[in-house]
Amino acid sequence: MRTSLNRLAGWTALAALAGCTVGPNYHRPTAPVSPRFKEAAGWAPSQPADAIDRGAWWSMFHDAQLDSLEQRVATSNQTVAQYEAAYREAHQVVAEARSSFFPTIGAEGSATHSREPNGISSLGTTGAGTTGTGTSTSTTGTSSGTTGSTGTTGAGATTTSSSGTSIRTTYVAELEASWVPDLWGKVRRTVESDTALAQASAADLANARLAAQGSLAEDYFALRVLDEQSRLYHDTVADYQKFLTVTTNQYTYGTQARSAVITAQTQLYAAQAQLIDVGVRRSAMEHAIAVLVGVPPAALTITPATFARDVPVAPTDVASSLLERRPDIAAAERRMASANALVGVAVSAYYPSLTLSGDYGSGASSIGSLFTSAASLWSVGAELADTLIDFGARRARVREQRAAYDESVATYRQTVLTAFQGVEDELSALHVYQQEQAVLLQTEASARQAVQLDLNQYREGTVDYTTVITAQATALTASQNVLTVLQERLQSSVVLVEDLGGGWSARDLPKS
């Protein structure tokens, strides 16, 4: 047995010395990177944010209600939970792949009680209790056999009955080991690929969390803008009610036509309908926020409140840093690394595989003598296998994986381009909206002043009611436009944070 063990050790040493890794080593391909953000040049945000707190970018808006809701997204949002589970799954795939570096060890035990005709006693009994094609000898009431074609022969006691049959009892206990050395790096490349995919899954999780947080911020500010619209329509309805009262009184005294009263009523009812519509949209937005924080809509109520109209803008830093700050770019890069490793897995199929195996056990006719030296059974072996002809299957597989890698490179580069486009879009939008809001605020102030002047003149009888109604409609539209551009600025500010990665970094990726 010592000689066989020495041979097995020799095979193991040979495997260790011959080990290498075939296929291309990974080097990150270049990506189209801008030296700077074009739209940031020459623009000073009205409310710049000096920095984004790591992991809490929403704190730059200084809104306690938003802070509370955002903290619930990471723990309760079901989309985030889905990606978190996918990452845990990918992590275990890596652990499973790494187990292939080590041998598989198993244990087996059996007890067989069989009856056989005396005429076939030359057939040995296998260690698993089956018949093998070996020879049999008898020593002190115990028979032993060589390895049969279907298993390892055990040892057992044979009793001859008066009816011409034999009763045989066999006990066998074995340890079995099998190992396929990673001669050509197939396992190493597989682990490399699975590790990269696990890292991509971690980046997907970060991206899903950032997307959910961004969606929550956008919905929250949309809800707060609806609160502002609700107050606007409440004030408008009150003003229109007063105007209707004045018009009705004038009609009563005969100084105004009936048509003026009807027009004032129509204007009032239209404003009331718009107020109701705002309530419907606010409810839908509140329900959307509830789903984002992982609770039923009935379980969340957000009290109407005012909010600061300042719109902070996240710093853009160096454009090239986007490659390290965007989780979607990191995910695309890691999938590219995985595809590169799979090329090596495909190339390894050109080389032979070596399987080392061995087992050690004992077989006896009674449990008491099962583990004695006389009852020991063992075997060692090695198997070398290679494919001689496959009619181009391996070549096609390698080409397939190389094409998949090229596809992942294109996906990575497109992701980078899209990321730069997103940042430039939001910088441009913020710049334009800031200018637009300044003009709209002036328009709103002028429109409100015009309403007051026309209303005073109407009461004095120097202008007709159509002049006042026109001025009121203009003022309402101007106020609506101010709120609309405010929401656009807030949304662009949030989306810019998402486009910049939300304070995330590729250094956050797990190493394995």
Domains and CATH numbers, the chain: 2-99+186-303+320-347+392-508 (1.20.1600.10), 106-181+352-385 (no CATH)
Asked whether the beta carbons of 11 and 356 are under 8 A apart, the reply is yes
Integer Cα distance of 70 and 107 in angstroms? 53
Going from the first residue of the chain to its last (512 residues), give the mean pLDDT of each consecutive group of 10, the final group possibly shorter.
50 54 91 87 77 75 94 92 94 93 91 73 40 36 36 47 71 90 92 95 95 96 97 95 90 87 93 96 97 95 90 88 92 96 94 91 77 79 91 95 97 96 95 96 96 88 86 95 96 95 89 77
Query: Quick one: pLDDT at residue 52?
Result: 61
Query: Quick one: pLDDT at residue 61?
Result: 92
Query: Quick one: pLDDT at residue 143?
Result: 35
Integer Cα distance of 357 and 347 in angstroms? 25
Does residue 55 come out as left (phi exceeding 0), alpha (psi in the -120 to 50 range) or beta? left
Query: Quick one: pLDDT at residue 129?
Result: 39
Asked whether the beta carbons of 458 and 260 are under 8 A apart, the reply is no
Q: What is the CA radius of gyration of the chain?
A: 40
Integer Cα distance of 37 and 34 in angstroms? 7
Two structure tokens written together for 461:
């009888």
Query: Quick one: pLDDT at residue 93?
Result: 94
Query: Quick one: pLDDT at residue 50?
Result: 63
Integer Cα distance of 232 and 447 in angstroms? 14
Asked whether the beta carbons of 440 and 482 are under 8 A apart, the reply is yes
DSSP state of 388: S
The separation between the first and the last C-alpha atoms of the chain, rounded to the nearest angstrom, is: 41
Residue 408 identity (one-letter amino acid): S
Query: Quick one: pLDDT at residue 118?
Result: 65
Query: Quick one: pLDDT at residue 148?
Result: 37
Asked whether the beta carbons of 173 and 108 are under 8 A apart, the reply is yes
Q: What are the DSSP calls for 262-290, one per residue? A: HHHHHHHHHHHHHHHHHHHHHHHHHHHHH
DSSP state of 216: H
Integer Cα distance of 302 and 66 in angstroms? 10
Integer Cα distance of 229 and 482 in angstroms? 10
Alpha helices in 326-376 (DSSP H): 327-347
Two structure tokens written together for 196:
């990269």
In the block, tokens 């063990």 appear at: 5
